[in-house]
Amino acid sequence: MSFSKKVAIVTGGSTGIGREVVLKLCAQGAKVYNLDIVDVESDACSYIACDVSNYEQVEKAVAQVLDESGRVDLLFANAGIHLFANIEQTSVDEFERVLAVNCKGVFFTLKAVLPIMKEQRQGKVLIMGSDQSFVGKGMSAAYGMTKGAVAQLTKSTAIDYAEFNISINCICPGTIDTPLLHKAVDKFKSITGASDGEVMAILEDAQPIKRIAEPAEIARVACFLLSDENSFMTGALVPVDGGYTCQ
């Protein structure tokens, strides 16, 4: 795959899967802008401070990309947060924050970028979903709701923009070794008293492959979905979950 001369926006590109996608796109020739609230020093990409839950910040960041590069070819709407809690344990503030980042953040980013791609009459968009875009999990009321929502947003928006040669797909990882996972593990341990080893063993055993994935494994699939080699996929929810959702 080559991304030579492509201009890409990645939200939440400072850590985890987003970071791996940034590095792979840059290594293959793309000019990448990382929109995140956390700056990570890197020569590989351009960083723009941006809270995706704030539309004015998103609009300003995307305008900066367009002003500097003249186009936007690729978008990975990746920024998201996790919450390990059922409905009773979820405060109203926590609910609002998860909804703001995971749903509004994706919507706001699409709203800012799609008109540019529409004018260009081409573009590739990838949205970060989850295995919870397909199935439910305990203690994930707010988080799971948001991932179901972005799955439907993917399908509807793919239909709306297909005539403009814009593909919009959703990558749906399972259990991945990222900072989000470790925060959830710490919360689970605090509630149950389980050891780190016990929790990780449960997580590994849940997949038919019997292990959790590394971020780079998800990034490879993400880069294919953003590449020109993906020429006939749009509106797809793509599980990358070690077989978890096929059980």
**What residue ranges in the chain does DSSP mark as E strands?**
7-11, 31-36, 46-49, 74-77, 123-128, 166-173, 237-240
Query: Rg for the chain (alpha carbons), in Å?
Result: 17
Active site residue 143: yes
Strands of 31-36's sheet, edge to edge?
46-49, 31-36, 7-11, 74-77, 123-128, 166-173, 237-240
Other residues' Cβ atoms within 10 Å of the Cβ of residue 240: 20
Distance (Å, whole) CA 245 – CA 243? 6
Annotated catalytic residue: which of 47, 143, 161, 244?
143
Scored b (16 or more CB within 10 A) or e, 179-213 reads ebbeebbeebeeeeeeeeeebbeebeebbeeeebb
CB contact at 8 A, 221 and 238? yes
Distance (Å, whole) CA 162 – CA 153? 14
Q: Could you give phi then psi for residue 11, rounded to 5 degrees?
A: -90, 140
Distance (Å, whole) CA 204 – CA 88? 28
Which residues belong to the active site?
143
